[in-house]
Amino acid sequence: MRLKEQEEAVLRFATDFAVPFDNNQAARDPRMARVRQKVSGCFRSESGADQFRRIRVYISTLGKQGSDVMAALPSVFTGNPLYPCLDTS
């Protein structure tokens, strides 16, 4: 009954592409590391797993903040990385 009453809000993602299909971003973020682990069998070292996690977090954060990730990545390798906004307000 509640879904019928709230049908417009429930289906808003189909007409407004700024609205995500679900609100499960927190569960999706670590999924890539888990897939990588399953495909390769394991990470070779704790350091490799940590490096993979740091890269994924960096890319994810820039993407969520609307930054151009493909433009930001070369800046990392030239020693002048684009830092994500730390303002939480």
Q: Which sequence spans correspond to the domains of the chain? A: 2-77
Is 33 in contact with 52 (CB distance < 8 Å)? Answer: yes
Distance CA 70, CA 77 (A): 12
- pLDDT given at position 23: 64
- What are the tokens at 82? 């684009």
What mean pLDDT comes out for the span 53-82? 84
What pLDDT score was predicted for residue 31?
66
pTM for the whole thing?
A: 0.51
For the stretch 18-56, pLDDT in tens is 777 666 666 666 666 666 665 566 667 777 777 777 888
The pLDDT mean for the chain works out to 76
Q: Is the pLDDT of residue 78 over 80?
A: yes
Q: For position 37, what pLDDT does the model report? A: 62
**Structure-token pair, residue 43:** 């990470």
